Amino acid sequence: MEINSLFDIFLEALIDSAKMIPLLLISYIGIELVEYKYANKIREAVQKAGVFGPAVGAVTGSFPQCGISVVASALYTQRLTTIGTLLAVYLSTSDEAIPVILSQPDKAEIIVPLVITKIIIAIIGGYAVDFAFRKSNKETLAHIKAYAEGSDNKQHNHEVILEKSLLRAQRKPFLIRI
């Protein structure tokens, strides 16, 4: 392969990447605005979902770039969600997929079927895992109920861990998500 053809390939890739920047910028700004406005509501919905956790987790996880997987992980470590809810959030998360697909306008029509398919798979997977771990989930659901009623053990503090995880999710780089 010649140096000129390698240079042409590099130049073409650079031009294609530059064409994507405005659309990606608009997409990320929109996503960040939604996250800023609804982050606490999403966290509360996942936390209060109880036995409906996998369904709520799958739907909230489908919002791209919202950082719900970080929040769901923190909630799980505190026994405020079940393992099925956590799995549903992970399975439905599309982070970089949607902005990349949007960068090719002729492929935009696959976004809705993709997101719906991911939600369905996440719900099925989440409930299957919750069924498999139903004994330990009974304890977790009792803990969630006690926390919601205010009769939880006062020796540990859920809010501090949640606040730290939300801050970590908000400190993620604006355009580059690793």
pLDDT score at 97:
77
Q: What is the mean pLDDT of the chain?
A: 75
- Most distant CA atoms of the chain, gap in Å: 72
- Tell me if 89 sits within 8 A of 122, measured CB to CB: yes
What's the whole-number mean pLDDT along residues 39-54?
A: 73
- Torsion angle of C-alpha atoms 65, 66, 67, 68, degrees rounded to 10: -130
Half-sphere exposure of 58 toward its Cβ, with a 13 Å CA cutoff?
19
Rounded-to-integer distance, Cα 75 and Cα 59, Å:
16
Phi-psi region of 150 (alpha: psi -120 to 50; beta: other; left: phi over 0): left
Write the pLDDT tens digit of every residue in 167-177: 555 555 444 44
The span from the CA of 9 to the CA of 15, in Å, is 10
pLDDT digits (tens, 9 = 90+) for 67-121: 677 777 777 777 777 889 899 999 998 767 777 787 787 888 888 898 899 999 9
CA–CA distance, 74 with 11 (Å, rounded to integer): 43
Of 83, 71, 60, the residue nearest 161 (C-alpha):
71
At 77, list the tokens. Answer: 């470590």
Distance, CA of 101 to CA of 104 (rounded, Å): 6
Percentage of the chain beyond pLDDT 90 is: 12
What pLDDT is recorded for position 169?
Answer: 52
